[in-house]
């Protein structure tokens, strides 16, 4: 699916898609951080019929509702395409030696060859977290690698 991106000078950026049924929907991302979810008129794709203003927290919650499933779907499809590739979702337990520590502290890629590709926390998805990303208990850590590698990451996050 193609995402249309349009710079809106003085406002921000508009991202829009057209559904299979011909409906155009989009998100206007304001420089202020506000997001508007927009549904366009079916007969005039440049005219909004509904616009819902969202705070940053609301936009993140909606993105999580829509995006987490999509991320898992993409990883599942990737697993089907690449033999031997496994995706695991590991809950960082309270008492983990990495609760409060950074992704870089784990050195999981170096130690296991597997990669942490996302972290889900309280309804928010952190895709491709950086080495300075700090874990907290109950984070859901999404790991991609071989079965051995993902198992080793689970062991590291549990025991250190």
pLDDT at 123: 75
Beta bridge partners of 118: 127, 142
What gap in Å lies between CA 78 and CA 74, rounded to an integer? 6
What gap in Å lies between CA 153 and CA 14, rounded to an integer? 38
Q: Kind of pairing, strands 12-18 and 24-30? A: antiparallel
Give the chain's length.
Answer: 160
pLDDT at 110: 94
**Residue-wise pLDDT tens digits, 95-120:** 999 999 999 999 999 999 999 998 98
Nearest in space to 14 (alpha carbons), one of 3, 6, 22: 6
Question: Span 15-19, mean pLDDT?
Answer: 88
pLDDT at 61: 73
Question: Span 131-153, mean pLDDT?
Answer: 92
pLDDT at 92: 92
**Residue-wise pLDDT tens digits, 56-96:** 778 767 776 776 555 556 666 665 556 677 788 889 999 99
**Residue-wise pLDDT tens digits, 21-45:** 888 998 888 877 788 999 999 888 7
pLDDT at 85: 77
Structure tokens given for 98: 């990495």
What pTM, to 2 d.p., does this model score? 0.53
């Amino acid at each position: 699916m193609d995402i249309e991106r349009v710079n809106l000078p003085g406002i921000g950026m508009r991202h829009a898609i057209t559904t299979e049924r011909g409906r155009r929907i989009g998100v206007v991302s304001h420089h202020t951080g506000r997001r508007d979810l927009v549904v366009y008129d079916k007969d005039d794709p440049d005219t909004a019929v509904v616009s819902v203003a969202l705070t940053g927290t609301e936009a993140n919650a909606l993105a999580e509702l829509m995006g987490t499933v999509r991320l898992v779907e993409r990883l599942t499809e990737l697993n089907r395409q690449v033999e031997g590739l496994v995706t695991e979702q590991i809950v960082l337990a309270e008492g983990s030696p990495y609760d409060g520590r950074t992704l870089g502290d784990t050195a999981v890629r170096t130690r296991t060859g597997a990669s942490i590709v996302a972290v889900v926390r309280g309804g928010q998805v952190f895709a491709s977290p950086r080495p300075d990303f700090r874990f907290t208990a109950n984070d859901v850590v999404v790991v991609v690698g071989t079965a051995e590698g993902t198992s080793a990451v689970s062991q590291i996050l549990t025991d250190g």
